[in-house]
A and B are shown apart, each in its own frame.
Chain A
Amino acid sequence: NAGVTQTPKFQVLKTGQSMTLQCAQDMNHEYMSWYRQDPGMGLRLIHYSVGAGITDQGEVPNGYNVSRSTTEDFPLRLLSAAPSQTSVYFCASSVSGTATSLNYGYTFGSGTRLTVV
């Protein structure tokens, strides 16, 4: 099993450009989420999804869109990139969105390092 696959690994964008970070999992997990990781701030939740067709906002959703048309894929769209969005982005999944499932762990991808200039 590949687990959670994120592409691209690295990306440089100019201010105002848009792009989509891809995330795919092959574990048939219902729950998927996106985080950003900044120095000294830990991981902050951007958006999450408890199943196909269902998404919700996390702690820092502004400037990002998501959709969940299939169980496997959960892309993150940057609408108009800003330097403040320079970060490392992680996608994660869990068996389901129930408290029990989430308490017992996420599988993370290896991240996308995004630089906005």
Chain B
Amino acid sequence: TQLLEQSPQFLSIQEGENLTVYCNSSSVFSSLQWYRQEPGEGPVLLVTVVTGGEVKKLKRLTFQFGDARKDSSLHITAAQPGDTGLYLCAGEGGMRFGAGTRLTVKP
């Protein structure tokens, strides 16, 4: 079983701060996806990373896939209250999900 470990589990920060959340595995993945989920809704895809070392940017969000394709990180610059949500990583084309990082950004 290819497990995806996400850290931290919970993160509460003030508006304007930067943050990084992590998704790690002992197994190699051909790709990793990041989703954001808001309360009462299903996850929404943010990005897919497929190449080791790849960096993708989505406005204030920066996603990185590790060189060995076993880990990924999501960095948010100048967080805003609208970034609040559960951030999930997924591997194996969505067959495996991590437990998520619950982010709260306080105004």
Contact = CB atoms under 8 A, between A and B. Distances in A.
Contact of A43 (B6, B31, B93, B97): B97
B98 A42 contact: yes
Interface size for chain A: under 10, 10 to 19, 20 to 34, or 35 or more residues?
A: 20 to 34
Contacts, number: 56
A94 B90 CA distance: 15
Interface string A74-116: 0000000000000000101010000100111110111100000
B99 interface: yes
B66 interface: no
A83 B106 CA distance: 36
A110 B40 contact: yes
A35 B88 CA distance: 14
Contacts of B93: 99, 102-103
A105 B42 contact: no
B88 A103 contact: no
Interface of A: 4, 33, 35, 40-45, 58-59, 90, 92, 94, 99, 102-106, 108-111
